[in-house]
Every structure is written in C-alpha cells, then in structure tokens.
Structure 1
Amino acid sequence: MSNDCNASKSTRQHAEQTQEDKHMSNNHSSNPPSYISNIVDLLKRIGINNITSMEFDTIISILYDEMSDRNLAESLSYATGEDYAMCLNRVYTVVSKNGISLKEKARMQIILKNNGYEDDIW
C-alpha cells in the first residue's frame, strides 16, 4: 500500500512539474487553455502591452482577488508574451506591496468592464 501511495505521489509530482515546465517554456504558439482564455482575450482587448506599469499592476491587483496566483500569471504570460516565471514574480510583487489606490482601482475596473470584464468572467 505504501508503494502505491508513493507511486501516486510521484506521478502527481511529475504531472505538476510537467505543467510547470510548460509554463516556464514560454511557448505560446498555441492558444491559451480554455480555463484562462476569457481573461487572456480581455487582457489583449485592453492593450495589456501598451499600458503603464501602474495600470498593469492595478489590473493584477483587481484580477488577483478572483484568480489563483498561477492562473493569473499564466494569463499574463499568454497575453503579453512574457515569461511565466517573470509574470508570477510580478504578481507576487504587486500583491505584497498593497500600494494601489482605490481611485486607480476604480478607474481600471471601468476600463476592464468596458472591455467585457465581469466579476465572474472565468
């Protein structure tokens, strides 16, 4: 029984590592997975590559309340073409600082909503 448990754990770890390797490869020649495709489309519609650093951080802050760290980083990676690990680091940096003003959040929420964002988009 112990061997089955260890084998199952090993299989899970391998699957998680394989998924992590996929993220780290930054090979976005394919479409994003269905579980984040709505967010990736939204980020592209708002021109995620053409916004200020403060706006980018504000969007992270808004979406962080509704997404896991990794799904948010993966969405950002697909939308921007940036490396997954860099996006995940940015997510961690933004949420640890907590320096986004309510006024800026409200302004960016309007932009997001005007481009199809809903609180339960994904």
Structure 2
Amino acid sequence: MKNIPESLLSTSALLTESFPNGITQDEYKALIFILYEHMSDRNLSEVLSFFVDKDKIVISNDIPKHCTGQGLQLEMIKNVQENLNRHGFQEWIDED
C-alpha cells in the first residue's frame, strides 16, 4: 500500500467515504472536473493515484483532458458532486 502524504489525508478520507466500492472511469473523469479548481495538478494526480489503477504521470496527462468537463455527462458530474456533498465536500473545501 502506498503512503498517503499528510497533506492529502483529508482528501483521501473524503474519497474513501464517498467511493467505498472504488471509482469508476466515468467517476474518475468527473472527479478531475470537480476537484480541479480546489487542488494543484500535482496533488490531484497524487491523490487519485491511490484510488484508480493509473500512475500519477498518466493522471497528470488526463487532467487537461477532463478539467473542463467537455465530453462528460452532466448526470455523472451531478451524481459525483452529490456523493461528495453527502460526505463532507463543503467542509473539505472550508479546511483551507
């Protein structure tokens, strides 16, 4: 198991609680879109690498493709956002 940096523990906890059964490819894309404005590319790629079967470099390359939401289904974005909200997304945002 990879060691999660202390600075990403609350993000990791949010994702663990929000997606206890793992993150699908569509959820992954929606998460990039939703989390992008709140995290650096480096931190976003690092934390997602703990939850999806992709290397940080691959995730870093995916970020520009998905951060605009282009090509994503609005229903998926809405579902992921609601799931995050139920598990403390606003509190996570307010931590900073």
TM-score range, shorter chain: 0.7 to 0.9
Q: Show the counterpart of 2:77.
A: 105
Which structure has more relative contact order (CA 8 Å, sep 6+)? It is: 2
Q: 1:104 to 1:82 in 2, by over 3 A?
A: closer
| Farther-moved stretch of structure 1 (98-107 vs 50-59) | 98-107
Task: Output one character per residue of 1:38-77: Cα deviation in whole Å (capped at 9) or x when no partner.
Answer: 1112122222763332222111100001111111001111
| Structure-1-length-normalised TM-score | 0.62
Distance of 1:84 and 1:73 partners within structure 2: 5
Does structure 2 conserve the Cα–Cα contact (< 8 Å) formed by 1:39 and 1:121?
A: no
* Structure 2 residue 17 is the aligned partner of structure 1 residue 45: yes
Task: Output one character per residue of 1:63-100: Cα deviation in whole Å (capped at 9) or x when no partner.
Answer: 00111111100111123363211221222221266223
Distance of 1:48 and 1:92 partners within structure 2: 26
Distance of 1:98 and 1:48 partners within structure 2: 27
Q: Gaps spanning 5+ residues in structure 2: where? A: none
| Structure-2-length-normalised TM-score | 0.75
* Structure 2 residue 28 is the aligned partner of structure 1 residue 56: yes
Distance of 1:121 and 1:77 partners within structure 2: 22
Q: Gaps spanning 5+ residues in structure 1: where? A: 1-26
